[in-house]
Amino acid sequence: MPDYIKLGNLEIYKLAIESSDLAWSVFEKMDWQTKKIIGDQFICAIDSVGANIAEGYGRYHHKDKIKFYYNSRGSLLESKHWTLLLQKRKLIQKPIYNEMLSNLEKMHKKLNSYIKACCNNIK
């Protein structure tokens, strides 16, 4: 029997938390108007990635899990969108943008692999 991996030890979840922490450091520096216009959507999207991974992880049936992982992937793509807009509007420093994008790209690949593994468990 394979070892049980706790949610906190799951690499995609760790990356999601790391991305949320980085996003929060960007959000905190925004003025009130910027937070309301773009910041809220940015932080909600990025926090939703980890939240959906956690919710899917807690589900019993594989198909139910996968649904939440798909939601997570959608939020991840939305996070990439908001990160790009922040960079284009000069609301995020280039090194932080690069780190954030790198984390999101890495997480995207790992999440796709994780979804594929879950789908293979159904068969």
CB 42 within 8 A of CB 86: yes
pLDDT tens per residue across span 17-66: 999 999 999 999 999 999 999 999 999 999 999 999 999 999 888 889 99
pLDDT band for 123, please (50, 70, 90 cuts). Answer: low
pTM here? Answer: 0.91
The residue ranges of every structural domain in the chain are 7-122
CB 46 within 8 A of CB 18: no
pLDDT band for 101, please (50, 70, 90 cuts). Answer: very high
CB 56 within 8 A of CB 117: no
Contacts of 111 by beta carbon, 8 Å cutoff, 6+ apart: 12, 53, 69, 72, 73, 76
Distance, in Å, from the CA atom of 99 to the CA atom of 82, rounded to the nearest integer, reads: 14
CATH topology of domain 7-122: de novo design (two linked rop proteins) (1.20.1440)
CB 7 within 8 A of CB 55: no
What does pLDDT average to over the chain? 94
